[in-house]
Chain A
């Protein structure tokens, strides 16, 4: 029971982080489009469309984690998004790009590369741990 509560707290924290990050980006999609464009991986017409789509996906997945509705789907999408983001951040660093990730709007503007990486890795570890817990049968009750 206590263990289950602890896992739910992890769900709420991870889900809350993605909801917060998503809402900030929903409020300023143009800036987020520029942030994606700064990675110089995708052409602008794709970056700008992703800037409208990805924040809502983050919010929906965050809500899925907290309310344990479409829980497995939320976990898999967020783990994939975080992995892609970590790879893109490292690639940008290797290519010498001075990027602002824009993950948390202006709050993260002055974060260093290592701060970003540590936070993203911590989130990824939490998502992987939650996924293993579900896959091993200690699954929370989900509606779908």
Chain B
């Protein structure tokens, strides 16, 4: 009798455990799948407004050679912290970093005019400062050229790339 009871109860307990853990996983899987639908819809809506291969759209990037070719029509902006700017920087570059944004922006704006392109750089390809500063120059300072087009560019490879090409 005791043996029979064991035989009856054990499989039931085991099945319950499987059911309980399976329920967590099954519900999680349903939610994971459900979230795909609006995400795909939104991605389709944004497909032309976002760069899928690089965080900075190619149209907002500039190489060292292209930027140098702009000569006097380009203003070089150093987005690195003050101490790195003080150590060394692109000749003629002005410092404009997010640590002292308001002060430095006031110093920068009188140097800029719509016929000038702005080349923003930070330490290397992987840094974010140039991207952030470029974005703020476009969004907050509303920098655009005479035709209303973008005039703020991020230097590809940043300061490291400039050093490679110039030293």
Min distance, Cβ B125 to any Cβ of chain A, angstroms = 11
Interface segment, A68-76, A83-91, A111-119, A121-129? A68-76
The B contact surface, by secondary structure, is helix
Assembly CA distance A72 to B124 (angstroms):
44
Q: Determine if B4 is an interface residue (Cβ-Cβ < 8 Å).
A: no
Tell whether A52 pairs with B39 under 8 Å between CB atoms, given A30-B50, A73-B24: yes
Inter-chain contacts of A59 with B (CB < 8 A): 35
Inter-chain contacts of B55 with A (CB < 8 A): 33-34, 37, 44, 47-48
A-side interface residues, number (CB < 8 Å) = 31
* CB-contact partner of A77 in B28, B36, B43, B51, under 8 A: B28
Inter-chain contacts of B23 with A (CB < 8 A): 72
Q: Which residues in window 52-78 of A have CB below 8 A to B?
A: 52-53, 55-57, 59-61, 64, 70-74, 76-77
Assembly CA distance A29 to B55 (angstroms):
12
Inter-chain contacts of B51 with A (CB < 8 A): 48
**A73, B50: Cβ atoms closer than 8 Å:** no
Q: Determine if A144 is an interface residue (Cβ-Cβ < 8 Å).
A: yes
Min distance, Cβ B121 to any Cβ of chain A, angstroms = 17
**A71, B27: Cβ atoms closer than 8 Å:** yes
Q: Determine if A5 is an interface residue (Cβ-Cβ < 8 Å).
A: no
Q: Determine if A38 is an interface residue (Cβ-Cβ < 8 Å).
A: yes
Assembly CA distance A76 to B40 (angstroms):
23
**B28, A30: Cβ atoms closer than 8 Å:** no
Inter-chain contacts of A144 with B (CB < 8 A): 26-27, 30
Binary A-proximity of B45-57 (CB < 8 A = 1, otherwise 0) = 0100111111100
B interface residue count range (under 10 / 10 to 19 / 20 to 34 / 35 or more): 20 to 34
Q: Determine if B18 is an interface residue (Cβ-Cβ < 8 Å).
A: no
Assembly CA distance A71 to B27 (angstroms):
8
Q: Determine if B91 is an interface residue (Cβ-Cβ < 8 Å).
A: no
Binary A-proximity of B84-124 (CB < 8 A = 1, otherwise 0) = 00000000000000000000000000000000000000000
Inter-chain contacts of A40 with B (CB < 8 A): 126
Tell whether A73 pairs with B126 under 8 Å between CB atoms, given A44-B54, A52-B43: no
Interface residues of A (CB under 8 A from B): 26, 29-30, 33-34, 37-38, 40, 44-45, 47-49, 52-53, 55-57, 59-61, 64, 70-74, 76-77, 135, 144
- A selection of 28 A-B contacts at a CB cut-off of 8 Å is A26-B42, A29-B46, A29-B50, A30-B50, A34-B128, A37-B55, A40-B126, A44-B55, A45-B52, A45-B53, A48-B51, A48-B52, A48-B55, A49-B43, A53-B36, A56-B38, A57-B32, A57-B35, A61-B31, A64-B27, A70-B27, A72-B27, A73-B26, A73-B27, A73-B29, A74-B31, A76-B24, A135-B20
